[in-house]
Amino acid sequence: MNSHVDCIACIVNKIDNLANTYFADKEKKYNFMKKALTEIINTEYYVSSPTISSKILRILKSEVNIDDIYLKEKKYFNDLAMKMEKQLKEKLDLANDRFLDALKYAMAGNIIDFGALDSIKDNMLDEVIESTLKQEIDETLYCRFKEELENGKELVYISDNTGEIVFDKIFIKEIREKYPNIKITLITRGQPVYNDATEEDAYYVGLDKYARIVNNGTDIAGTDLLEINEESKSYIDKADIIISKGQGNFETLSGCGKNIYYLFLCKCDMFTKKLKCEKFQGIFMNEEQYNELIETTV
């Protein structure tokens, strides 16, 4: 997906907030902002906003000499989500459709996103879980999704944020139990970017019990098929079915033509207009639906 003019405004606002956090000296902030804005100006139209954001974060990390600027937040939300895990599993035991509720938990976990939001409060997670569980999803698409899992041999699950990956673990565990014949590969980011999950985070929360873990080799807050390493690209290319978590993965993958099911919360105004939904509404759609949407809006 090409960057949108609205994305540029959000990127500038985000880097300004980060600059205020890391640069007390106005001249240092000015020099950083100048480099960041030059990067935006020199970026081609076809480049996605997560790729642009990641290039700017590289500049920031170099300026402040910090490789993982959200390290504390990442650990905090991984630990918080793991504390919730037992309670969520108990709720699944009472669900009318535990697989559907597990899917919705994975969707709700996408609220833990420091790329799209400047701060996350603990109670936001509880509120989003409750509202997402009440949300209706496309029944036809849901049935097709389950049928493809039943018949598929290789599933690639592309993760997004820390904390969120604990909700992914709950969902992946349900997939393993319901469809034991499908092999699952989880793909993480290759290097720190915002609060996105890396391979280390996936092992930390115990995802290796249910899936093969592979990192994509990049520090891009999405999955840019032109930038990721050959190993992760090969798993994506041979997958029968792909689950793509989060808005950044949606931005970088939508339009690629692969058999992808997108699962995320719509957290920006531009996407609420494009997808005709409310802010923080859960989105469960596949690549075909996205292509049909684009055709009707062009």
Phi and psi dihedrals of 138, rounded to 5? Answer: -65, 110
Determine the straight-line distance between the first and last CA of the chain, rounded to whole angstroms: 14
As a whole number, the mean pLDDT across the chain is 90
The superfamily CATH assigns to domain 80-297 is Uncharacterised protein PF01937, DUF89, domain 3 (3.40.50.10880)
Residue linked to tokens 């990192």: 215
Q: Which residue from 220, 189, 196, 215 is spatially nearest to 51, judged by alpha carbons?
A: 220
% of the chain exceeding 70 in pLDDT:
93
Q: How confident is the model at residue 114 (pLDDT cuts 50, 70, 90)?
A: low
For 213, the enclosing helix (H) or strand (E) is: strand 212-215
Phi and psi dihedrals of 269, rounded to 5? Answer: -65, -35
Residue linked to tokens 């991984």: 78
- Tell me what pLDDT residue 294 has: 65
- Tell me what pLDDT residue 295 has: 60
DSSP one-letter string for 173-232:
HHHHHH-TTSEEEEEEBSS--TTB-BHHHHHHTTGGGTSEEEE-S---SS--TTTS-HHH
Q: Who contacts 163 (Cβ-Cβ below 8 Å, separation ≥6)?
A: 74, 77, 78, 80, 81, 109, 112, 195
- Tell me what pLDDT residue 184 has: 98
DSSP one-letter string for 246-289:
SHHHHHHHTTS-S-EEEEEE--SHHHHHHHT--TT-EEEEEHHH
Instruction: Please tell me which residue, 233 or 295, carries the higher pLDDT value.
Output: 233
- Tell me what pLDDT residue 4 has: 58
Q: How far is CA 56 from the centre of its chain?
A: 19
Q: Who contacts 24 (Cβ-Cβ below 8 Å, separation ≥6)?
A: none
- Tell me what pLDDT residue 238 has: 97
The 8-class DSSP code of residue 109 comes to G
Q: Who contacts 74 (Cβ-Cβ below 8 Å, separation ≥6)?
A: 68, 162, 163, 195, 197, 201
Contact assessment for residue 162 and residue 201, using Cβ atoms and an 8 Å cutoff: yes
Interval 64-109: pLDDT, tens: 999 998 899 999 999 999 999 999 999 999 999 999 999 999 999 9
Q: Is the pLDDT reported for residue 261 higher than 80?
A: yes
> Strands 183-188 and 212-215, how do they pair?
parallel
- Tell me what pLDDT residue 49 has: 87
Q: What's the CA gap between 27 and 21, in Å, rounded?
A: 14
Q: How confident is the model at residue 130 (pLDDT cuts 50, 70, 90)?
A: confident
- Tell me what pLDDT residue 262 has: 97
Mean pLDDT of 216-221: 96
Q: Is the pLDDT reported for residue 298 higher than 50?
A: no
The two three-digit tokens of residue 226, written as one number: 């032109």
Q: Which residue from 199, 216, 213, 292 is spatially nearest to 254, judged by alpha carbons?
A: 292
- Identify which of 33-47, 126-140, 152-166 has the greatest average pLDDT: 152-166
The 8-class DSSP code of residue 189 comes to B
Mean pLDDT of 152-159: 98
Contact assessment for residue 156 and residue 242, using Cβ atoms and an 8 Å cutoff: yes
Instruction: Please tell me which residue, 277 or 25, carries the higher pLDDT value.
Output: 25
Q: What's the CA gap between 79 and 67, in Å, rounded?
A: 21
Contact assessment for residue 199 and residue 191, using Cβ atoms and an 8 Å cutoff: no
Q: How confident is the model at residue 296 (pLDDT cuts 50, 70, 90)?
A: low
